[in-house]
Amino acid sequence: MSSRLNLVRTLLSQSSSSEDRGSGGTSAEASADTGFQTRTPETTPNSQRKIIGRGQPAGSVPTIGTSGLDSSESDNQASVVSSNVGPTLSGRGRAQFIQGLLKQPLESGRSIPTVADDSASTISSAPAVSILGAGRGRFMQQLMNTRADEPSVSDESKTQLTEQMSQITIAETVQTVEREPVKRMGTKGTPVQLMTNYIRIACDPDRGLYEYEVRFNPEVDSKVARSKYINQHREVIGNAKTFDGVKLFLPKKLPNVETILQSENEVDGHTVTIRLMYKRKQRMSENIQFYNILFQRIMKVLKMIEMGRKNFDPSAPKLIPQHRLEIWPGYVSAVDEYEGGLMLNLDVSHRVLLQTTVLDHIRTIAKSNPSDWKNLVTKSLLGAVILTRYNNKTYRIDDIIFDQNPTMTFMSSNRQQQISYVEYYKQQYNITIHDLKQPLLIHRKERRIAGQDKPQELMMCLIPEISYLTGLTDEMRNDFKVMRDIAAFTRVSPNQRLNSMRQFCYNVNQNKEAREILEVWGLKLDMEPLVMKGRAFEEEKVIFGNAQVGVGKAGDFNRAVTSSNMLSAIPIRKWLLVHTNKDMKIAKSFMDCVQRSCRPMGIEVDTPAIEVLPTDKTELYVQLLRTKIRQDTQIVVIICPTSRDDRYAAIKRICCSEIPVPSQVINARTLANEAKNRAIVQKILLQMNCKLGGTLWSIKIPFQNVMIAGIDTYHDPKQKSNSVSAFVASLNGEYTRWYSRACIQSKKEEFMNGLCASLEKSLRAYEKLNGVLPQKIIIFSLPVVTLCKKVASEFAFESPAARSKVIPNLISSSSEEEKYVSLPDGYSFSDTRLVGSRSYRQAWRKV
């Protein structure tokens, strides 16, 4: 297979390089659909031409000759020999040509060429096709069209070819070259010793992940049956293994390159021969997922509960009785390969659990809103994660059935009889359910069934009385006392974090079962986190309008922000202040603080146009904004009596969409304490200046003409259909002006669609402001690091004719080739095709 593909690549490359060697009568033409330059070949009747594959000299011209094998060719060359020129077709493509070439029938009576590691030959009686200067695509089409006149292939030839193909094995060890990672060390700053949250995983050089190809004779279709046959030879391969039905991974290398095993069928007693053919020892970077699975097994051995991608310890809860909360300590872990080898990245995490049940939550809502309690319960619980303490498992609430209760029955899986939920929980967990009229919670999950292509959806019914809510409610998040008491446990110091990591290492190494999971694969976890050398930079200077202030070791310069002039202050001349009648005193106090604070901060603020509303109705805010916002209004400041989502959404809808104008909404409660008003008003002035396009401060940037971009994606857990992707990018050298864009993407839409469109628009904005494009682009995106790596490795650039479609107005040249190389600042833009996808995507790259 690989030899024939190499043959095709050779033909394509040589057909391009030989175009200039044609006769003087050739004429150039441009292929409209590929962008490649082609030539019309002159007719060469009765010419003997050969297509040479591997081993052909670099200067030879590929040709097609009459039927017959040139005996002068060496064994490591491949020849296609034919006689007549066939008609020209179009629109078939290279993939079909390759497929047709692999299926090329043999002439009756010819011998089958031997398939070796470095040789392959294909012999055919296809008519001769002139390919000199005809273009690669057209040559393939013509060659495919010649199959109509080929003679039939004998059954004997087919059988012989099948037998030889079945004997092809991977018998030789595939040598892999381990490359040392590139190490980059800084030179500036003072060297210091740093304790990291990485723990080294020592690897036994005699152990690892050894890959074997497994073949069965006779063939065994069932994956389950294959695993049973493999398990009959534990004395040879050992107890530790990973087998997917085709590949077998062992922690140690078997004595022989090829191992023959005999298994017995338990049904009819016939013998099944198993051939284990050694392929190679895999690199660490190829087995990162496997190592992470090992540590997930270790977490289960340590009796930790998995929630999302984190694991928590239910045996050591930290209680907050005054708020009916408990906090489970835990870890978030990830294994990867780094400069020092295999490392476990470990960090401390916490999970907040409510001591109230879902039934308590339902009763609270029903008591406060008896008329519409069902809708409110559904809105508050759908998508929530609950914990069932009888088995310490978490479930996501997908639905609530109000017309069913725990007295309903279902078919028991073990007894094959109808049983109610009340009876089931009493028999299985000795739990008595008291409320027999409570609704049922629904959790849906997919499970793959053997023999079925699509997974089967299973529905699980849960009882609210014995289900506990996890996470915090919005009311709790807005309660300062609750958040302060939670932070006392979750906000850990560096020493506490270090002690937690040491405790984890101790637990793994002292637990026999956990330790053996690593030892059988030749791994061992260090007892101490990794210590490495770092560098402490000099104190950074923050640049203000009238001073440069050092940030100190704590990095705190809040006092300097409010006492120094802004770097770029926008005078506020025309602005609107809106408040209710009962907030008159608070509004007057706000204006007094603004006048006292604006001058030290270097900002000029004139007296605003003040509008007073009689009541706090949302429609009054909407009507006033529609009538009072004028063309020259710089910003609107609205003081609201309380915090209400509907009012806030209505105000922002008017100011952001209907009548675009910067807006600042203030909760009157934040201005109620006159002793703290000045500090609060100063921060409000800072926000207002930023919204008007001003700059608060800056630092010295050591490089220029570099764009910094950030990407993030929000997935609504309650609505799986759409996601929101956000993109921001810097526009100036001080990194104080930014372009932002958000787009809604459907579940089936490629992530790259929104990314490429956002990147294109940000580059346009950058060029409009600076006159040039950035020389470099740095993208920060933690949630999509893996996706970016995958995209970077799988995107392939197409023909030069398509390379100007993303930003055509940046191109001044007329020639397609000149467009590609003449983009400003060395950039080229191209249509690209993601491997494995039928649709085309747009992307960019640096030349």
The owner of tokens 């690897």 is: 203
Backbone φ and ψ for 748, nearest 5 degrees, come out as: -90, -5
> Which has the minimum average pLDDT: 244-248, 274-278, 414-418, 523-527?
414-418
pLDDT mean over 462-475: 89
Domain boundaries in the chain? Answer: 2-166, 210-281, 560-699, 706-846
CB proximity list for 462: less than 8 A, separation 6 or greater: 386, 388, 395, 440, 441, 442, 443
The CATH number of 210-281 is 3.30.70
The owner of tokens 């012999």 is: 123
| Integer angstrom CA distances of residue 841 from 133, 268, 448, 829 | 31, 55, 33, 12
Inter-axis angle of helices 358-368 and 373-381, nearest 10: 140
Helix (H) or strand (E) holding 275: strand 271-281
If DSSP states are collapsed to H, E and C, what string results for 502-527? HHHHHHHHHCHHHHHHHHCCCEEECC
Binned at pLDDT 50, 70 and 90, residue 47 comes out as very low
Taking 70 as the threshold, does the pLDDT of residue 21 lie above it?
no
Residue pair 612/581 in contact (Cβ under 8 Å)? The answer is yes
- Structurally, at CATH architecture level, domain 560-699 sits in 3-Layer(aba) Sandwich (3.40)
Taking 80 as the threshold, does the pLDDT of residue 490 lie above it?
yes
| Integer angstrom CA distances of residue 481 from 317, 320, 475 | 20, 12, 11
Torsion, Cα 736 737 741 742, to 10 degrees, reads 30
Tens-place pLDDT, residues 554-571: 777 888 888 888 888 999
Taking 80 as the threshold, does the pLDDT of residue 114 lie above it?
no
> Which has the minimum average pLDDT: 179-193, 541-555, 628-642?
179-193
pLDDT given for residue 156 in this prediction = 60
Tens-place pLDDT, residues 118-158: 433 333 334 444 444 445 656 666 655 654 445 555 556 55
**Top-confidence range, 109-118, 466-475, 496-505:** 496-505
Helix (H) or strand (E) holding 113: none
Taking 70 as the threshold, does the pLDDT of residue 49 lie above it?
no
Query: Facing residues of 830 across strands?
Result: 843
pLDDT given for residue 673 in this prediction = 81
pLDDT given for residue 456 in this prediction = 78
Residue pair 31/137 in contact (Cβ under 8 Å)? The answer is yes
Backbone φ and ψ for 532, nearest 5 degrees, come out as: -140, 165
Structure tokens given for 573: 């001349």
Taking 60 as the threshold, does the pLDDT of residue 60 lie above it?
no
Strands 575-580 and 609-613: parallel
> Which has the minimum average pLDDT: 17-31, 134-148, 490-504?
17-31
**Top-confidence range, 37-46, 266-275, 595-604:** 595-604
pLDDT given for residue 75 in this prediction = 38
Could you tell me how many residues make up the chain?
A: 847
Residue pair 3/115 in contact (Cβ under 8 Å)? The answer is yes
Which stretches of 421-464 are assigned E, i.e. beta strand?
440-447, 456-462
Q: Please choose, from the candidates 352, 606, 630, the residue with its C-alpha nearest in 3D space to the C-alpha of residue 477.
A: 352
Query: Which carries the bigger pLDDT value, residue 606 or residue 74?
Result: 606
How high is the mean pLDDT of the chain?
A: 75
